[in-house]
Structure 1
């Protein structure tokens, strides 16, 4: 079991902003998972990987694949209070789900 968080590299987020967006994505996708997946993931140590995303379009495309596959996912849009314009897509979380299911969506991406 794992979760992959894809964060955009093309919008110039600072390290703190990046950390916050990754956290938002992780929690949002977790909340969309059913209780069984939540429990399994928590008991397995809540494994996460953070990956590089290249564009808003890429995150939306990966999100659609996750939805078709029935994998919990969440696209995060920034509120615009600090570095980014309101509504800017910053991150996507895929999972928690079995490693191979998450990899079927995000396996081609590089680690952050």
Structure 2
């Protein structure tokens, strides 16, 4: 079981902003998963990997691939209180899910 969080590299988010957006994405996708998947992922150590994407369109393309594979996923939009404009899509979490399925969607992306 695994979850991958894709974060945009084109926004220039500070480290704290990036960490918060990754956390929001992880929790939101976890909440989208069914109970069996949630329990399995938690019992398996909650493996997470953070990867890079170049822009907004890449987030939405990955989200569509995740949807087609039946994987829980969540795109996070910033509230606009600090560094970014309100509604800016910042991150996407794919999974938790079977590692092979998550890799089918995100396996070609570089680590953050």
- Normalised-by-shorter TM-score class: over 0.9
Q: What are structure 2's unaligned runs of at least 5 residues? A: none
Within 5 Å, give how 1:33-48 maps onto structure 2: 33-48=33-48
- 1-structure distance, mates of 2:53, 2:78: 16
TM-score (norm 2): 0.99
Measured after TM superposition, the shift of residue 22 of structure 1 is 0.1
Q: Does 1:107 align with 2:104?
A: no
Structure 1 segments, 4+ long, off by >2 Å, are none
Corresponding position of 2:61: 61
Measured after TM superposition, the shift of residue 98 of structure 1 is 0.7
Corresponding position of 1:90: 90
- 2-structure distance, mates of 1:89, 1:60: 9
- 1-structure distance, mates of 2:109, 2:21: 18
State the superposition RMSD in angstroms: 0.3
Measured after TM superposition, the shift of residue 51 of structure 1 is 0.2
Q: String of CA shifts for 1:49-93, please: whole Å, max 9, x gaps.
A: 000011000000000010011100000000000000000000000
Measured after TM superposition, the shift of residue 4 of structure 1 is 0.1
Q: How many residues align?
A: 112
- 2-structure distance, mates of 1:14, 1:83: 8
Measured after TM superposition, the shift of residue 14 of structure 1 is 0.2
TM-score (norm 1): 0.99
Measured after TM superposition, the shift of residue 94 of structure 1 is 0.1
- 2-structure distance, mates of 1:33, 1:10: 29
